[in-house]
Structure 1
């Protein structure tokens, strides 16, 4: 009988972290846990209840392990985020953590080949892979693929500043967060320029 392992993506699967990176840069924080605590909305709703139940399955040896498999390039952010999750759960859940820069990876795309080679006796396991994106190279008979809806939660800039100012007196935002309408216009601009390029 094959052992079971659960594999999670990070960004927009466990949570939405784009705005948090902006906040970290604005505050110049070196330790991120207080900011994670200040903005619980970055995590998918009921995430910690789900992870707690998986920690029990791991403890009772019903699953052989819980893996984090991410293409996030910010190693320090990923490390501190996982430490925070583990501290909230009271146990180490994600082992191993496979990042964009993991030396065992042979491609920057997620693939069952890399996953199997990064896990001891990986080809003797059944995997449940949870990601908000479709990764063609993750299709395999031993992988049960759950494609989740992408999680996004963007706090209003005023709310972000109010919370930070209560924690860091005297904090002033150094630059305004771009409103979503402007983000959309920038995307439309990029798309129009790409069309121009393709029509050359």
Structure 2
């Protein structure tokens, strides 16, 4: 009888501990779900001609995403971007350019002017998207994914300047963030493409 009374007294305490442990487990699993890695494949954007571009069509390819500008000291990087695109485009690699006017108003042109500039001056044939914002309150959703660890699962970053590169693996996940000043033909990028 004494044991039964003791058992009846401690049962609510044990039950309370069990419930708290269950709540903690459920909270941990729901927070890990909110931190789950997203992919770039969820996005559809508009290209320079106004057509819909669906990132899900790039499954299985390595993707270099770069914010570009026509009147920047780094604008000659278009030439190296085109060179690595030509060399690797048949080996499951693509470059996606996003013109942006966020830094020193160095991309003031319209989509048509940007398209003409890229083709005429650098022979750009990799996909170029419509002009967007890559930072600030009007940051495009693609760049929210690229710069926020809660969405990309890798790291928080900030677009420092024109021609910052984001390297996306064959699963659509962010692999690496590369400085604007690092040339597209740098070993860091070429080794990643060829690995």
On whether the aligned pair clears a TM of 0.5, the verdict is no
- Give TM-score, length-normalised by structure 2: 0.36
> Normalising by structure 1, what TM-score?
0.35
Q: Which has the larger radius of gyration?
A: 2
